[in-house]
Structure 1
């Protein structure tokens, strides 16, 4: 009887060990990679213990800081809410590693809801689906980004030095005329004019010693 009791106890312990072993297998709910593990073989765990950092490989999320002067041209809310599918601007990412250059495309998901106190920038979050195995972007890479912005019809691009204090000189009927314009944006060596110029205006880009409204000029 004692031997049968010992055998039964051993079988029960064996079954319990099998169940315990089955419970040590942890399967993530998505396809991904382990970035960092916090446990070793034989570690005793308690409920809620952190055991690993895992990231999904079906898509990447990229945090892109945006200067405050560029924010109005995105046309997205800045409260951190998820953008609707038909409101997500397209994004192109460019990266280089060694002698190789990489490119990937995706779209914006949302913005962060706070401005960085040091840089005065707000970040937007882009997602890049990894559907093509040739996309070689890696976690931790630095990237450059092109983000699709709002469309502004009727914008005229002129040399930046042609605009001063929202005023521009044009030639009309061989005479100088000063016009007030609305500058939408200044970028590099160019000014984007959204209002104030007409189709037939000829913008003065030559530097003169003096400028007088109505002064005769010769156009070459």
Structure 2
């Protein structure tokens, strides 16, 4: 009986002893050190913003067009016997230069014939006047007043009319002779030449197309958004002052690997908005486009495509940041005093390909993130390189100071 009790009691005692020993061992284990992983700040680039007076630059593009373009057409017929050396495509000429001369002999003969008719008419008028005086003297000797028919007044009037007609024919012949010389209507350049020496031309024949070179014009389309920032030289029907002066414009064109620039000015806006594009065309003018410029700059040629930069209005006290710093079009990430990101909604007045101009929502001296971040939440810890200057080691969160400070910085929630 006792043997059976021992058989059951001894294993139970051993089990209890093992449990007690295991608990003792567990209670005496060393305390494991606690370690919180460090919070690694996100490295970003940032700028410190300051208010400036920012001039908006409105960009557009267009094609160079002549101020005045004309078609030379003769008013008389004839064979071309002389052309000017400058009468060729690209040739320059001054106002009044002889460009084309027609054979003048037929018109010289017409002048001689008209002069003869004038002489005959003058002679006939003198004869009628002389006969009228003879008749008047005869009636005076008889002591009577001569009748109108006797004084040959109708014949004298007819002779005067014939003389005037002959003189008009002479003047027409002289004008036709002058018209055999086709002269330049203004200072310009030949755009297209259609005739040459020896060719017979008649009224209606197009001799050439020419254009003025005193200045050229460029039509530049502007959207309603762009028009908000451009002071146009508006003119009204009751305006007696001639309108204000338009803003300056810089024109650029690429020729091969070189880019050239010209200075001009907006001189007017067209009277209607284009119904297809809903844009208004303004006209830029460049004076003396064919004068020799700086270095080897070529002339501004007709039909050339140019890019335009128009001086717009000045936005006072604006903050200029890179356009890539904007988030969702109207937000920025501001870095607070604890080196954490804070989203800020701002008012954007103007954007272009490089910059965004903010007029409300920022304060002088604030630091704005300019690094694109895929995910950025409020409170994200950052290490910012401000205006190209990296942060000092003591300013980096989790570095410098006593260990307790580092742990506090690392355990700070994000």
**TM-score above 0.5:** yes
Residue in 1 that maps onto 2:317:
154
1:60 positional shift: 1.0
Q: Is the 8 A contact 2:221 2:279 kept in 1?
A: yes
Residue in 1 that maps onto 2:292:
133
- Which is helix-richer, 1 or 2? 2
Residue in 2 that maps onto 1:166:
330
**Unmatched runs of 5 consecutive residues or more in structure 1:** 1-7
CA distance change for structure 1 residues 76 and 202 in 2, over 3 Å: closer, same or farther?
same
1:118 positional shift: 3.1
RMSD: 3.9
Alignment equivalent of 2:202, drawn from 43, 65, 73: 43
Question: Does 2:365 align with 1:200?
Answer: yes
Secondary structure of residue in 2 paired with 1:70: helix
Matches within 5 A, 1:48-127: 53-76=209-232, 87-98=245-256, 101-127=259-285
CA distance change for structure 1 residues 179 and 97 in 2, over 3 Å: closer, same or farther?
closer
CA distance change for structure 1 residues 102 and 194 in 2, over 3 Å: closer, same or farther?
same
CA distance change for structure 1 residues 62 and 210 in 2, over 3 Å: closer, same or farther?
closer
The separation in 1 between residues aligned to 2:242 and 2:259, in whole angstroms, is 31
TM-score normalized with structure 1 length = 0.72
Question: Does 2:176 align with 1:20?
Answer: yes
Question: Does 2:377 align with 1:211?
Answer: yes
CA distance change for structure 1 residues 35 and 182 in 2, over 3 Å: closer, same or farther?
same
Which protein has the larger Cα radius of gyration, Structure 1 or Structure 2? 2
Q: Is the 8 A contact 1:186 1:192 kept in 2?
A: yes
1:59 positional shift: 1.0
1:56 positional shift: 1.4
- Which is strand-richer, 1 or 2? 1
**Unmatched runs of 5 consecutive residues or more in structure 2:** 1-111, 118-168, 385-414
**Structure 1 residues 193-202 or 77-86, which shifts more?**
77-86
The separation in 2 between residues aligned to 1:59 and 1:100, in whole angstroms, is 23
CA distance change for structure 1 residues 176 and 130 in 2, over 3 Å: closer, same or farther?
same
Question: Does 2:186 align with 1:30?
Answer: yes
Secondary structure of residue in 2 paired with 1:143: strand
1:58 positional shift: 1.0
1:199 positional shift: 0.8
CA distance change for structure 1 residues 100 and 25 in 2, over 3 Å: closer, same or farther?
farther
Q: Is the 8 A contact 2:235 2:243 kept in 1?
A: no
The separation in 2 between residues aligned to 1:162 and 1:100, in whole angstroms, is 32
Q: Is the 8 A contact 1:74 1:150 kept in 2?
A: yes
Q: Is the 8 A contact 2:347 2:359 kept in 1?
A: yes
Secondary structure of residue in 2 paired with 1:93: strand
